Structure 1
Amino acid sequence: MVIVEFVVVPLGEKSLSRYVAEVVKFLDRRGVKYQLTPMSTIIEVSTLKEAFEIIGEAHELMFKLGAERVSTTVRVDDRRDRQVHMEDKVKSVLEKARGG
């Protein structure tokens, strides 16, 4: 599994919720496992290639929605030794934080 955090920002916009909502709809249509956070979107996919394809489409979606300039930031967690899912990472941290 590849876990990827990304932020797609149409520059010059005061409110981004309309744009983020369209990205969420796009991810739902694609059947992508994702987690929306207040500052970014995290996806879990099989390959890095798939992740970049999805993020590229989300980036292009901003232009289709009328943006004239778009900034996209990506952070990748790609493990090859074992499969780790988004919820596994969160669970591990919370267990340690709570003394487990």
Structure 2
Amino acid sequence: MLNQIYADITGKEIFIAEELQAPAVSSALYGAVAAGEEAGGFKDIATASQKLGRLKKESVKPNLENKKVYDQIYEYFKRVHDFFGVTDKDIMSDLKALKVIAHE
């Protein structure tokens, strides 16, 4: 379900790692890159991923109808953020102060 949400929000196809311990494999890939080619590793993470990374055949494709809704939610989020963080910077401080007064 989470991968479907990621796909819907980003509008991009999500490919699933074959390994259950994908973070551990990723750490090993970065270790191989840190070792470098001269020590038997790889020159960059893209090369290491191509050689050692494996993906499942199936992927999660975005639902574009859901993406439209997520895009609308994001626009509302930006408006709320800008109101509380840009337009009226003091509103949260004022509300916290009011809370203190109300509890006295």
Q: TM-score, normalised by structure 2?
A: 0.23
Which one has the bigger helix percentage? 2
The structure richer in strand per residue is 1
Which of 1 and 2 has higher RCO (CA within 8 Å, sep 6+)? 1
